[in-house]
Structure 1
Amino acid sequence: MQLAAYKKLFTPPPANWKTLTGSPTVINQLWPYLGVWRQKVPGGAGAAPKNWRTGQPLTYDISHSDEVFFIDAHSHERFLLEGPPAAPKGSIPATIYRFMSDTGHKNATSPPTTAWTEAQAKRVLRSLVG
């Protein structure tokens, strides 16, 4: 439900954009397999973070590394782009931008040198499909 709502924020979402999820057990097995770092973060003092979709207070959040995995039809990882994306101005839906941390806002307005671009992702795809 959360991923489907997230995908709908992008107008129009890419036609071939797959959003996958599973039970906490499956996700907790998949992320380490792929090498994704993540950490449960308590709500902390002050204003509790809110769910971007429902506006309800969260009791925790999940901090995680940023990667884009290119996986072939045989479920083999073929390439990895690591780091945050260099998002063109205005490409982040306002609902998500309001939810982002100060670091996320900084990365969106002034991407780090490690940020990958859409053009880089397209080059990877072209090289993988010939």
Structure 2
Amino acid sequence: METKILYNSNMHFEHVLWKRELDFWIDELKTFNNRLSELVTRWTDKNVLARLEHYQNEFILHGGVIEDLQEAIEEHEMRIAGQSESGFNAIDTKLARKHVEFRNRIETEREIYADLKKKFFRFLEEYM
């Protein structure tokens, strides 16, 4: 089995990319909520309003996930910074494992968010 080493600088670079992606999602959620506000003023049908509420709840939930991911990135960044200050460039096994697990969380959330957006755009096509 090949040994892989995660360097602090590479993990930091990945964190920067994730932070930018999460910031973009936050901006998108603001735009999506604005769309919901527009639709609320256009529709009185209870079924449509229930679907609007569903998407509003989904956006709130996803916003919470984004906040959790941002906090986890910051915690990991602090650990990396502490290790870098001590002169170690490669992170210990436990933290490397956590980084890989977090990468998987980001990838999973990316898929969930993409699916939500796809469904929301279809909804908008139908009711905008």
Bigger-Rg structure (1/2): 2
- TM (normalized to structure 2)? 0.25
Query: Which protein has the bigger strand share?
Result: 1
Report which structure shows greater RCO (CA 8 Å, sep ≥6): 2
Query: Which protein has the bigger helix share?
Result: 2
